[in-house]
Structure 1
Amino acid sequence: MEMKIMEFINVVAHNRIMKLVVLSIVFDTVFGVLRAIREKKFNSCAGIDGAIRKIGMLISLVFMLAVDMLIKINLIGFVPETIREQIGLTSVGMAEFFALLYIAYEVVSIFKNMALCGLPVKKVWAVVRAFLIKYTDELPDTDELDGNSTTGSVEDHRQQEKTE
């Protein structure tokens, strides 16, 4: 029993997609905290709701990885071929499938927070948005970035000046 637990911990710790999820959560949290400092108020990344959401994502992935170890399900057909090639996936279990969705969600949040911090990432955001339009019918709430929200917008924040 102890060996199986150690094997599971080893699988979780060395799963490349899980590492990407953790990395994206860390980046989103950092930029969310910077945004909260700039706006002098809590936001979805720096508050308790954001922490609960991020912890919930990680816990769900651990449980799905356990299910993947018990039942071999391959959902690779649901992942576009270009993404499979970029990441080097040969099979996609439930955990990897949802991890890819979580990564996409966090990347959107990272760019939103970067833009609201005043970083010059509007062009990168346009590329991310085009990617999302290509692969999904749903786009995240971008009211803050588009200036259609009372909670803040990119236009309200001055971008950092280039120093050379």
Structure 2
Amino acid sequence: MKEEIAAFILAETANHIFRLVALAIVFDTIMGVFRAIKERKFNSCVGINGAIRKVGMIVSIIFLSIADKILSINLIGFIPSGLWSDIGMQTPAVIGMAEFFSLLFIAYEIVSILKNMTLAGLPVKKLWDAVKKFLGKYTEELPDDD
């Protein structure tokens, strides 16, 4: 049983999308710390709410990975085909629930990272415009104001 669990964890940590989620979470936390230092108070990235949200993302990915192994659901139809080439995905691809939600978590963390960078006083207007344009192709949930 221990060997099966270890093999599962090793296989999941090799997934590039999951690695991007972990990278986004770490970078968001770092930017949140910079923002907290500037504002001299905790914020949603380094306080308890941010920790709960970030742990929730990781736990969700783990449980969705297990569910993917059991159910074998392919959600590729929910991802616009234009996004496939933008993120380097080969077609036909299999996108399980874990990968699908990981992509959503990455988009959420990118917006949070840029918010923290802006509030920390870093010059990220051009970067934000590029990300906003990219995400704007696939969602209408971004704020209208800069």
Aligned to 2:108: 105
Q: What's the CA shift for 1:130?
A: 2.2
Q: Which has the higher contact order (CA 8 A, sep 6+)?
A: 2
Alignment partner of 1:11 is 2:11 = yes
Question: What is the correspondence of 1:30-109 to structure 2 with a 5 Å cutoff?
Answer: 30-85=30-85, 86-89=87-90, 90-109=93-112
Structure possessing the higher radius of gyration over alpha carbons: 1
SS at match of 1:135: coil
RMSD: 1.6
Gaps of 5+ in 2: none
Q: Which deviates more from structure 2 when the two are superposed, residues 72-81 or residues 31-40?
A: 72-81
Taking the aligned partners of 2:119 and 2:56, their CA distance within structure 1 comes to 25
Supply the AA of the counterpart residue of 1:91: V
Q: CA deviation at 1:131?
A: 2.4
Q: CA deviation at 1:133?
A: 2.4
1:14 is matched by which residue type in structure 2?
A: A
4+ aligned runs moved over 4 Å, structure 1? none
Query: What is the aligned residue count?
Result: 143
Task: Report % sequence identity.
Answer: 57
Specify every segment of 5 or more residues in structure 1 that has no aligned partner in the other structure, as ranges: 147-164
- TM-score normalised to the size of structure 2? 0.90
Residue number in structure 2 paired with 1:160: none
